[in-house]
Structure 1
Amino acid sequence: MSIQLNCILLIDDDEPTNFLNKLTLEQAGCARQIHVAQSGQEALDYLRNANPRPDLIFLDINMPAMDGWEFLERYRNLPAAKKADIVLIMLTTSLNPDDEIRTRSIPEVSGFENKPLSHDQLGNLLKKYFSKN
């Protein structure tokens, strides 16, 4: 893949899913660094101190303690410089059409995808959001 991002952040409580998604990202060679947060709070802590700041975030909806929706509410309150130009994609197993509709109403969310992440999905997302064409 010719597009290479500086950093991608995966936010998901499911270790096997994180393993598969990270493997897909590594095989694509599309990021210099991949950071995994297993909770919304861990992700917020990372974003407050992130170096490097992620270019792309994949966020799960259904997580214990803090789900993806609550993460987004708190994400909104981060300083603008901490979230500038970050593309945030909901990556979920949710089959509830209301989740996708709700996602479209949140300006911080760029897209809604089903997991696990595939090479084709990743390629399409990278072209859509990071291609300089």
Structure 2
Amino acid sequence: MESNMGFILIDDNLIDQFVIKKILKKVLDINLLYIANNGKEGLDWLLKNARQKPLVIFLDIQMPIMNGFEFLDQFQNLEEEVKDKIQIFVLSSTLDLDEIKKVKENKYVSGFWNKPLQIELLKNKFS
């Protein structure tokens, strides 16, 4: 995998964090994954680190403190040069069609993927 790319997972579920970390290691040989437990932690991390290299964000929707939609609302306020280096993939187990539609219509979201994360999707996108 490209070593010039960073990965951040914004998800409060410890099991999902563990599984996604293992999948990224196994499929893409990614050893460094920053994990934020909610959108606010993810946004704070981005504000300090986003200029360093291109980023891929895996974003959950339902989280405490700041959910995925609130994160996306705040994300749009970042500088264009920062936003241009970031791809956001929403990972969710939601079955709510309105939420799925809202995610897919967001111009900053590169894709909506159902949990659990499918290895083939990851391979096809990043290999």
| TM-score in terms of structure 2 length | 0.88
Q: Which runs of 5+ in 2 are unaligned?
A: none
Identical residues among aligned pairs (%): 34
| Counterpart secondary structure, 2:109 | coil
Task: Confirm whether residue 43 of structure 1 aligns to residue 42 of structure 2.
Answer: yes
The worse-fitting range, judged by mean Cα deviation, of 42-51 and 25-34 is 25-34
Cα separation, 2, equivalents of 1:18 and 1:32: 13
Deviations 1:54-89 (A, max 9, x none): 521110001112110000000111122222231101
Deviations 1:91-127 (A, max 9, x none): 0010112222111221001110111212112112225
What is the letter of the counterpart of residue 62 of structure 1? Q
Cα separation, 1, equivalents of 2:28 and 2:115: 19
Q: Which residue of 1 aligns with 2:11?
A: 12
CA RMSD of aligned residues (A): 1.7
Q: Which residue of 2 aligns with 1:68?
A: 68
Q: Which residue of 2 aligns with 1:126?
A: 126
Cα separation, 2, equivalents of 1:30 and 1:110: 22
- Alpha-carbon distance, 1:30 to partner: 4.5
| TM-score in terms of structure 1 length | 0.84
- 1:35-114 equivalences in 2 (<5 Å): 35-50=34-49, 52-114=52-114
